[in-house]
Amino acid sequence: MEKAEVSRIQEQEGLLAAIENTDICTFWYYPQEKLITMGERTARMYRCKRVYPDMPVSFAEDFVHPSTRTDFYEMYRRIDAGERTAQASFSSIDRQNWCTVTLTTLSYDEQGRPKQSYGVVQNISELKMQEAEYHSNRRMLASIIDALSKIYMFNYYINLETGEFREIAGLDYITAALGVKGDARNAFRQFTDTLIDDNYKEEFQKFVDMDTLADRLNDQQNISLEYLSIRKGWCRASFIIVKRDEEGIPVQVEFVVENISAEREKELEAKEALEKAYEAANKANASKSAFLNNMSHDIRTPMNAIVGFSAIASAHIDDRERVQDCISKITASSNHLLSIINEVLDMSRIESGKMHIEEQEVNLPAVFDDFLSMIQGQARGKGLEIDVDTTEVVHENVYADEARLHRVLLNLGGNAVKFTPAGGRIYVKLFEKTQTAEKWGNYEISIRDTGIGMSKEFLPHVFEPFERERTSTVSKVEGTGLGMPITKNIIEMMGGTIQVESEQGKGTLFTIELPLKIMEKEIEEKKRSAVVTKEGMCGKRVLLVEDNELNQEIAVDILEEAGFIVDTADDGKIAVDRMSSAEEDDYDLILMDIQMPVMDGYEAARAIRAMSVEWIHKLPILAMTANAFEEDRRKALEAGMNGHLAKPIDIDILFETLSEVLK
């Protein structure tokens, strides 16, 4: 062997020995056999076999991740095609290792085909991790900048040590004026001169003063200033510390600006709403104070009459005519006191959302006839004429809440009577307008009087709770200031509207628009007897369940005078026990209070109905209670009762109901 060849071999062996002391590995590739062999060290480091035939497929399937096989195959294709050197980077299947392989052909056969190639493998996993981290950080930074751009209109990085700025995100017109980098002092000077409203220039210039910025940020992470921009409206500028030096002095900051015009508008709207709410609350408090004063007067007036006439009656107990007159006036005062209480309770129920409309079959002309009969006496007593016109009604039978409709008519008609001087007239008209929807009627109700009217100043407040116009005439008329709000709420709950027109000294006109569903059948006329008969009550046995001694005494007296035989129970539990041992002939009727100790009326009625005695299931049970609302009536029926009587007891209604259930 020639000396030069020996020297070359020694150099190669020395190089291989040096490689053994690095993380570089080697292998041999034989293109013609499609075979690679690798040393024990390479196989150990990469946890692979030492021999791979059928290259490059066998090694790729054993070691190379599918996503990087294209470059791997391409390297071997180039070597097989005769290129002297080829390179590829690829990942292991488990993604734990990244390698860069360089293949170099060392020998060729006589035809020039590659015979033997030498492969050098370098592990680049750490480099790839650094590269991935770098790209991840770049993506994160881009995401942060993108997110900030959605909050801030522009964002500048400022080096406080050099006084230079660099734009991170900006607006086109600002970038055009200030550039993307440069001296921060000059930029802020130009920014102030061209973009800040004159009223805020001085304050803004102090805020961006670079000479004092580090001191102002010394013990804070950021500082802000709100100002008015010429082009963007209200803005908020902020300096945010990016970096401090070893002594804690700020050396790098971000200057960011966000548009707060919408925020300012919301603040302004909230402030205005708060001021309005405060004003409304003060007004409501004033109205309620006035209401309480009025209520004190209005409640004490009938109470004074009740107490006074009771004392007069007691003092003249032997003067039958005088006593009867006192009782008549006590009754009138009691009814007035009851109407005041009902109005206050109704308003409370409306405000709490507990009042509901209960639709039923109604004949409109009949409703107006009843209404007329109820106010006719008052009107005649004052010398008033009432004209009622229901002739222009095509569909008389509708579905409506008859009780609420009565209430509306009585409130408006009653006011017309109260505020119209003697000799005046009241006009009531029901008119059916053109139908706006199939099976629905569009009705207009108008009530006009020639009374004292209302002032223009008070007219907008007529439907507000507790409001009454303060005039010498009105002050002499009883009222709580709740009738009109209740009326308006009822009409709106029925889907209608109410309008008012008035002029002092000439009168008032209320106009109601009301959509009502039309009935397809006629209503059978229900005639009510003018005189309640007590026939058939004598000898009937009634169980009166009442815990209040005075109420019990009154009821017993009324019932016994009508001929009933009355047995009493002081609470629901006693009544249930009494019925559990009763015989069929013991009772014909139960009158049940609701609010009682031990067991209330609802629970007692359910317990009685649950008894396994046939005759008890048919025994009439009537609620007789101060729980006088519609939902109370409904609860009574759901508990198994046959009807509901509200306290204070109206004797005519009591005996009419008793006659009905005892037939």
Confidence at residue 529, expressed as pLDDT on a 0 to 100 scale: 42
Q: Are residues 188 and 60 in the same domain?
A: no
Report the distance separating Cα 478 and Cα 299, nearest Å. 10
Inside any domain, residue 535: no
Average pLDDT over residues 343-353: 62
Residue with tokens 């006192």: 326
Average pLDDT over residues 90-94: 86
Q: Are residues 316 and 461 in the same domain?
A: no
At residue 360's C-alpha, the angle toward residues 356 and 363, to 5°, is 125
pLDDT beyond 50 at 472:
no
Average pLDDT over residues 112-122: 89
Specify the amino acid at residue 563. Answer: G
Token pair, residue 273, equals 């709403």
pLDDT tier for residue 35 given thresholds of 50, 70 and 90: very high
Count up the domains in the chain and report the number.
Answer: 5
Confidence at residue 80, expressed as pLDDT on a 0 to 100 scale: 92
Domain residues for the domain of 573 are 541-661
Cβ proximity of 537 and 563 under 8 Å:
yes
> What are the two backbone dihedrals, phi and then psi, of residue 395, each rounded to the nearest 5 degrees?
-105, 100
Confidence at residue 527, expressed as pLDDT on a 0 to 100 scale: 45
- Out of 87-101, 288-302, 392-406, 465-479, pick the least confident: 465-479
% residues pLDDT > 90 (the chain) = 22
pLDDT beyond 50 at 475:
no
pLDDT beyond 60 at 589:
yes
Which of 268, 331, 272, 267 shows the shortest CA–CA distance to 302?
331
Q: Are residues 10 and 96 in the same domain?
A: yes
Which of 620, 645, 650 shows the shortest CA–CA distance to 632?
645
Q: Are residues 369 and 505 in the same domain?
A: yes
Residue with tokens 């209430």: 407
| Domain boundary pick from 351, 375, 395 | 351
Confidence at residue 622, expressed as pLDDT on a 0 to 100 scale: 92
Inside any domain, residue 255: yes
Q: Are residues 551 and 594 in the same domain?
A: yes
At residue 552's C-alpha, the angle toward residues 548 and 557, to 5°, is 160
Confidence at residue 591, expressed as pLDDT on a 0 to 100 scale: 93
Confidence at residue 33, expressed as pLDDT on a 0 to 100 scale: 93
Which of 470, 472, 458, 471 shows the shortest CA–CA distance to 502?
458
The per-residue pLDDT of the chain, averaged, comes to: 81
pLDDT beyond 50 at 220:
yes
Confidence at residue 441, expressed as pLDDT on a 0 to 100 scale: 86
Cβ proximity of 641 and 625 under 8 Å:
no
To the question of pTM greater than 0.85 for the whole model, the response is no
pLDDT beyond 60 at 32:
yes
Q: Are residues 145 and 243 in the same domain?
A: yes
Q: Are residues 346 and 400 in the same domain?
A: no
- CA distances to 74, 99, 615 from 119, in Å: 15, 12, 109
Report the distance separating Cα 467 and Cα 469, nearest Å. 7
pLDDT beyond 70 at 139:
no
Instruction: Return the CATH number at 379.
Output: 3.30.565.10
- Out of 41-55, 132-146, 445-459, 555-569, pick the least confident: 132-146
Report which of residues 626 and 58 the model is more confident about.
58
Inside any domain, residue 191: yes
What's the pLDDT tens digit per position in 152-203? Answer: 677 888 898 999 998 877 777 777 777 888 898 988 898 888 888 999 999 9
Confidence at residue 297, expressed as pLDDT on a 0 to 100 scale: 55
Confidence at residue 282, expressed as pLDDT on a 0 to 100 scale: 79
Report which of residues 655 and 434 the model is more confident about.
655
- Out of 60-64, 121-125, 342-346, 646-650, pick the least confident: 342-346
Q: Are residues 101 and 22 in the same domain?
A: yes
pLDDT tier for residue 530 given thresholds of 50, 70 and 90: very low
Which of 391, 263, 426, 403 shows the shortest CA–CA distance to 342?
403
Report the distance separating Cα 530 and Cα 527, nearest Å. 9
Confidence at residue 298, expressed as pLDDT on a 0 to 100 scale: 61
Report the distance separating Cα 354 and Cα 169, nearest Å. 58
- Out of 240-249, 305-314, 573-582, 611-620, pick the least confident: 305-314
Report the distance separating Cα 462 and Cα 412, nearest Å. 12
State which H helix or E strand residue 430 sits in: strand 425-437
Confidence at residue 112, expressed as pLDDT on a 0 to 100 scale: 87
pLDDT beyond 50 at 439:
yes
Residue with tokens 């209608």: 496
HEC-encoded secondary structure of 521-586: CCCCCCCCCCCCCCCCCCCCEEEEECCCHHHHHHHHHHHHHCCCEEEEECCHHHHHHHHHCCCCCC
At residue 528's C-alpha, the angle toward residues 522 and 532, to 5°, is 165
What's the pLDDT tens digit per position in 497-526? Answer: 999 999 888 899 999 998 988 887 655 544
Instruction: Return the CATH number at 302.
Output: 1.10.287.130
Which of 452, 445, 390, 388 shows the shortest CA–CA distance to 416?
452
Report the distance separating Cα 420 and Cα 507, nearest Å. 8
Between strands 360-363 and 385-392, the pairing is unpaired
Which of 72, 30, 54 shows the shortest CA–CA distance to 63?
72
Inside any domain, residue 523: no
What's the pLDDT tens digit per position in 533-563? Answer: 556 678 899 999 998 887 888 888 888 888 8
Inside any domain, residue 12: yes
* DSSP β-bridge partners for residue 158: 165, 253
Average pLDDT over residues 10-37: 71
Q: Are residues 364 and 513 in the same domain?
A: yes
What's the pLDDT tens digit per position in 305-336? Answer: 788 788 888 888 888 888 888 888 788 777 76
Inside any domain, residue 182: yes
* Cα end-to-end distance, the chain, whole Å: 142
Burial letters 210-236, b for 16+ CB under 10 A, else e: eeebbeebeeeeeeebebbbeeeebbb
Report the distance separating Cα 533 and Cα 229, nearest Å. 87
Report the distance separating Cα 556 and Cα 544, nearest Å. 8
Q: Are residues 69 and 192 in the same domain?
A: no
Cβ proximity of 478 and 332 under 8 Å:
no
- CA distances to 575, 587, 591, 614 from 584, in Å: 15, 7, 17, 9
Q: Are residues 317 and 437 in the same domain?
A: no
What's the pLDDT tens digit per position in 611-650? Answer: 988 898 889 999 988 766 667 788 889 999 998 888 777 7
Confidence at residue 18, expressed as pLDDT on a 0 to 100 scale: 46
